[in-house]
Amino acid sequence: MTKLSSIADYVTDKISSNDIALREYVTTDCILQNKKGREIATNLPPQSCCLTCYQRGDVLIANIRPYLKKVWFADIDGGASSDVLVFRAKEGHSPSFLYAVLLQDSFFDYVMQGAKGSKMPRGDKEQILRYEMPTLSCSEESIGTFFLNLDQKIRLNEQINQNLEAMAKQLYDYWFVQFDFPNEDGKPYKSSGGAMVWNEELKREIPQGWSNMSIGDYAPCKSGYAFKSKDFGGKGLPVIKIGNIQENYTLDMTDSQCIDLFNKTLFLAKRYDLVIAMTGATIGKFAISQSNYWVNQRVGRFDLGDRPLSRLGFLFNSLKQEYFREQVFQIACGCAQPNISAEQIDSISILKPNDVILNQFNKLCEPLLELQSENYLQIEELTKQRDELLPLLMNGQVSVNSDLSAH
């Protein structure tokens, strides 16, 4: 066995926050949970300060609440806040292998064993460096390159999905916010002088002949089931809870509990169904289900019928509009624990285009959403393979073909 300290050091070099761009600034908040890389920070520090100076090839780990498994392999140079640990591979050791070591669930479990504090546990820097690894049967470079390639494939799929989603949103904005959907002559409706009328319910002008409808008219919201703790087990279908619904309209079902013996399909979210959090800090967040899941109490499921994909595009993008979230908070306010019922969600008004334009938009969204779904499923499978293979490779139970790892 060998210790982490034999292959890596902490970076202690400093850089001023005045000398980096926003995209180069890394905090614990912008490193994503469950090994999903990082996003761009929302802002630089309000006052000039010293940051840890990281460089391309370093591995950054958020040291607050290590159980969140926040880790990023740096592909640029920049500066990190004080609660981000920056590891650098020692000379003669592979940076990508160091990343593979720090990706392991066993590493984060080890860090939590030495963490200090209950509400906001922090890893013990000295204890972390004592993390033990088995002696390898194949080269560091082979293992590191293999997992870096796997990780880059996951990130690429995520970027493709972001672009697909942006395309659908742009089309929605063009057709249903600017109202420049194609008229009968194929020209932009409003820009070409299309008639507009005031809609009192929506408090805006909309195309003549259009109106408003309640969400319940388009896709009624159905409440989930109040599962008891005794219902949960290790087998069966996973259960969606409010905490599984992410900001990016996806479900993170990592470590979700399962229900085995249950047959009430009314509480089943199928592929392409839309689910929404109906309570707590996550209220109003919604996501597309990519598989079959049971829906727990305080999670709603929109009933899009037998072919949800054919009607998903319009509702999905309508719920992204600011007025939807505003109405959710307006209904839910005034409680210590904000709640909204399925009936209240059903009552929220949204735009009702004419059937021709509505069907045309949904049809254009179908292939985009279908490709997104395929990518999400591939991401899930690749992530599962990565996390299962890591300990096997580290323990020498399997090895990487050096030729394959280079591709």
* pLDDT of 282 strictly over 90: no
Residue extents of the structural domains in the chain: 2-133, 145-210+354-407, 212-352
Between 333 and 160, the more confident residue is: 160
For the structural domain made of 2-133, what CATH number should be given?
Answer: 3.90.220.20
* Token pair for 283: 């209220």
Rounded mean pLDDT, 49-78: 96
Superfamily of domain 212-352: DNA methylase specificity domains (3.90.220.20)
Q: What confidence tens digit (pLDDT) does each residue in 14-52 have? A: 999 999 999 999 999 999 988 989 999 999 999 999 999
Task: State the average pLDDT for the chain.
Answer: 91
* pLDDT of 248 strictly over 70: yes
Q: How much is the pLDDT for 404?
A: 43
CATH 1.10.287 fits 145-210+354-407, yes or no: yes
Q: How much is the pLDDT for 400?
A: 64
Q: What angle do CA 153, 156, 162 make, to 5 degrees?
A: 145
* pLDDT of 331 strictly over 70: yes
Using CA atoms, how far apart are residues 82 and 63, in angstroms rounded to an integer?
Answer: 9
Q: How much is the pLDDT for 338?
A: 86
Q: What confidence tens digit (pLDDT) does each residue in 358-383 have? A: 999 999 999 999 999 999 999 989 99
Q: What confidence tens digit (pLDDT) does each residue in 377-386 have? A: 999 899 988 8
**2-133 and 212-352: same fold?**
yes
How big is the chain by its Cα radius of gyration, in Å? 24
Q: How much is the pLDDT for 136?
A: 66
Name the band, by pLDDT with cuts 50, 70 and 90, for residue 253: confident
DSSP 43-87: ---SS--EEEEE-TT-EEEE-BSGGG--EEE-SS-EEE-TTEEEE
Using CA atoms, how far apart are residues 322 and 326, in angstroms rounded to an integer?
Answer: 6
